[in-house]
Amino acid sequence: MKFEKYFTMEEADAIEYAKERLDFFEADEELTCKEIGDGNLNYIFKVDSVNREKSVIIKQSGPVARISDEFKLSPDRNRIEYEILKFQRELAAELVPKVYNYDPIMNCTAMEDLSDHVIMRTEMINHKKFKKFADDITTFMVNTLLLTSDVCMEHKEKKGFVKNFINPELCEISEDLVYTEPFSDVNNRNDVFRPNASWVKENIYLDEALKLETAKLKFEFMNNAQSLIHGDLHTGSIFIKEDSTKVIDPEFAFYGPMGYDIGNVIANLIFAWVNADAFGKDEQKNWLEETIAKVIDLFKEKFLKLWDKRATEYTAKYKGFKEYYLNTVLRDTAGVTGLEGIRRIVGIAHVKDITIIEDEERRMRAERLCMTLSKKFIMRRNELKTGRDFINIIKETEKNL
């Protein structure tokens, strides 16, 4: 009876839940639990067997965000995450964790424990390198984005997916925190590093040309139901180790522009690059530059190959159309790279890559570097077609700041 009405679980409840509701452990098995969630929205319980090497993750969604009670959230995001992970595993195999169970009453999902992996942001802060990452993440993005678009899906089936994965509450968070609030000092929740406050006002809030472009990008986000995007694909949503990459947390998923996912990956690699710059880690910077360029170029290469193999829409096969389509994706990628690069500095949800820089002068420079190159990505997004184009923006900004 305990789990027939929703409540926010604690560690002891999660143990009891695992025993009663999951067909995963033996009935008499001794279990331990630790709540390990450090994100903005959910509670994450790791339940372990004392006597066997067996464990499971239980992720529970509450009616409000952990970051702030202001964010009222639909628990349906847990259903979306469960179904998305199952579907993405069909599309991208070993790049997504297994899911075992979804409970609509307790608003929780049971899934594979990835304790042998580490959150990628943590590893980037520790200046680690992962040679397989660019290959893995581009395979994930090409498969999950192109194969869920009108290029490859039967159109009525795709429209059914659009309906099933509509996600208005979490989309609203992105619309506010990514596209709107970082570019205005009126009625927002921004959290600006005080030494950079006047710089932000002059170079972000008062830049009318920049704000116009962000409005265009916002309406693209709200209206372009292009493919089933992850919606929050940053280095905090990726588990990684030397020979494996796992993409997690697709609760922001909905049908939106492909470039939103790709741009988030690029922006968060740039945060890692800026962190390496602040700490004088030139070798890490070089690896990150190579990785950023590879992500763009491998995505293009795999995208065109998969298009030729899997496109079913007749008009998509017209000469020149796939190149036109890919260029629109790259344009959106550059724009979102810039949006993410600014909102994580100015807005309410910061990244540790930047906030752990304790020296005031270095952090001021790091933030200005992020925001300056981000503005260029937004304003010059139609020009950027290759990995080298993206790197050139970074290098010219570094040189001139």
Q: Which tens digit of pLDDT belongs to each residue from 340-382?
A: 999 999 999 999 999 999 999 999 999 999 999 999 999 999 9
Q: Which tens digit of pLDDT belongs to each residue from 129-161?
A: 999 999 999 999 999 999 999 999 999 999 999
Q: Where a domain ends, among 88, 111, 134?
A: 111
Same-domain pairing of 123 and 59: no
Q: Which tens digit of pLDDT belongs to each residue from 232-270?
A: 999 999 999 999 999 999 989 999 999 999 999 999 999
Domain span at 143 = 118-400
Q: Is 393 helix (H, G, I), strand (E, B) or coil?
A: helix
> From the first residue on, what is the mean pLDDT of each consecutive set of 10 residues in the chain (401 residues)?
90 96 91 85 92 94 68 75 94 95 94 96 98 98 98 98 93 96 92 98 98 98 98 97 96 96 98 98 98 98 98 98 98 98 97 98 98 98 98 97 84
Same-domain pairing of 139 and 22: no
Q: How far is CA 239 from CA 52, 175, 212, in A?
A: 23, 26, 36
Q: Where a domain ends, among 56, 89, 111?
A: 111
Same-domain pairing of 375 and 313: yes
Q: How far is CA 244 from CA 40, 76, 93, 239, 247, in A?
A: 25, 30, 12, 8, 10
Q: 154 φ, ψ to 5°?
A: -65, 135
Same-domain pairing of 77 and 126: no
Same-domain pairing of 98 and 148: no
**Torsional sign, CA 230, 296, 243, 282:** negative
Q: What is the count of structural domains for the chain? A: 2
Same-domain pairing of 96 and 6: yes
CA atoms within 13 A on the CB side of 135: 6
**Which two structure tokens, joined as six digits, stand for 253?**
């998923």
Show Cβ contacts of residue 278 under 8 Å, excluding neighbours closer than 6 positions: 357, 359, 362, 363, 365, 366
Q: Where a domain ends, among 80, 111, 142?
A: 111
Same-domain pairing of 68 and 166: no
DSSP per-residue string spanning 224-253: ---EEE-S--SGGGEEEETTEEEE---TT-
Same-domain pairing of 49 and 154: no
**CATH at residue 198:** 3.90.1200.10
